[in-house]
Amino acid sequence: MKRKFFAVALASVLLAVGAAVVAAQQGLLPFVIEGRSFVSQEAFINAGLRCATPHVDDERAAEIDAHMLAHRGGPGNARKPGDPPPQPAVTGGMINVHFHVINNGTSLANGNIPDSQIANQMAVLNAAFATTGWSFNLVSVDRTTNATWYTAGPGTTAETQMKTALRQGTAADLNIYTNNMGGGLLGWATFPSSYAANPQGDGVVVLYSSLPGGTAAPYNQGDTATHEVGHWMGLYHTFQGGCARNATSGGDLVSDTAAERSPAYGCPTGRDTCTNLPGLDPITNFMDYTDDACMSTFTAGQDTRMDSAFSTYRYGK
C-alpha cells in the first residue's frame, strides 16, 4: 500500500514538474521583474516595458532618411542638386560618455550603483559595438540624490528637470542616466534626429538594476543600455513594420535584418514569424527584445545606418 502511494505521489510530482517546464517554455508562468509581476514574459513585452523609446511612423522615418541621404556628408557638405549622395562624414570613432547616477540614498538598493558596475557597463557597450568602429570613453560620472528624479519616466516633468540640470557636452556626446523609473520599465532613448529640437533632452535612460550584475534578470547583463544606445545612434527596432516589409530596406530601414512580425522574447531559436519573407527572425540582434544573454549582433547595414545618422545629426553639432 505504501509502495503504491509512493508511486502515485512520485508520478504526480513528475507530472507537476513537467507541466511547470512546459508552462515556462510557453511563457505561461508569472514573470517578475523588480517586484512587479506579469502573467508571462510575453505580457511584459506586450506592455511596452522593454523599451519606451518613441515609435517613428513611416512618414517621419522617410523624411529622416531623405535628410540623411542629403546631409550625411557632414556640416558644409550637403548634397547638391544632381550630385550623388555624399558618403558619411564619419564611419566610426570614440564617443565621450557622461554617466549620471540618480539615486534615492547611498545604498545600492536605492540605485547608487558602484563605479565597478559603470566600468562593466562601459565594457559591455564597447564589446557590443566593436564590429561597427564605434567605441565609448567614460569621461565623467556624477551622482545625484533626488527622490523625484529617481522615479522619472519618459515624457515627465521630472525627466526634463533631470536632463536640463545634468546633461553635458554636444550632440556627439552620449549622456546615460540610471534611475528606478518603475512599473517594470527598462529604459528609453532619444534619436539623433530629435537633437536639434531638444538638445537638453538628448540621451539614454536605463534602469539601474539592468547594468551588469544587477537584479533585473534576464535583463541584467548590460544590453538594455546597448539597445538604447542603438536608438541613440539612429537604429529602429528590428520588428518595426512587421511582415509588411519594404523590398529593399524593411520596416527598420535596414536591408540585412530579416523581417519579424512582433518582438521576440527569451531566446526562441529558429523563430520565423514572416514565413512569406526570407530569413529567420533576428533574435540575436541588439535591436530586438530578447534576453540579454541572447543578444550579440549588429549587422553591417545597421552599422552603415549608424554612420549616416551620426554624420548627419551629431557630427560637428
316: left (phi over 0), alpha (psi -120 to 50) or beta: left
Q: How far is CA 109 from CA 60, 112, 113, 263, 305, in A?
A: 40, 7, 8, 30, 38
Q: pLDDT tens across 165-222, in order?
A: 999 999 999 999 999 999 999 999 999 999 999 999 999 999 999 999 999 999 999 9
* Cβ pair 51, 187 in contact under 8 A: yes
Catalytic residue list: 228
End-to-end C-alpha distance for the chain, whole angstroms? 82
* Radius of gyration from C-alpha coordinates of the chain: 22
Question: Is it true that the peptide bond before 218 is cis, omega within 30 degrees of 0?
Answer: yes
Q: For residue 177, what is its C-alpha cell?
A: 542616466
Q: How far is CA 187 from CA 11, 164, 274, 311, in A?
A: 44, 18, 28, 25
pTM (2 decimals)? 0.90
Helix (H) or strand (E) holding 175: strand 174-179
* Sequence-distant (≥ 6) Cβ neighbours of residue 80 within 8 angstroms: none
- In whole angstroms, give the CA distance from residue 146 to residue 156: 15
pLDDT value for 78 = 83
Q: What is the pLDDT along the chain (317 residues), one digit of tens a residue?
A: 434 443 444 344 334 333 432 343 355 789 999 889 999 999 999 999 999 999 999 999 999 999 999 999 999 888 888 889 899 999 999 999 999 999 999 999 999 999 999 999 999 999 999 999 999 999 999 999 999 999 999 999 999 999 999 999 999 999 999 999 999 999 999 999 999 999 999 999 999 999 999 999 999 999 999 999 999 999 999 999 999 877 667 789 999 999 999 999 999 999 999 998 999 999 999 999 999 999 999 999 999 999 999 999 999 99
As a three-state string, the secondary structure of 37-63 is EECCHHHHHHCCCCCCCCCCCHHHHHH
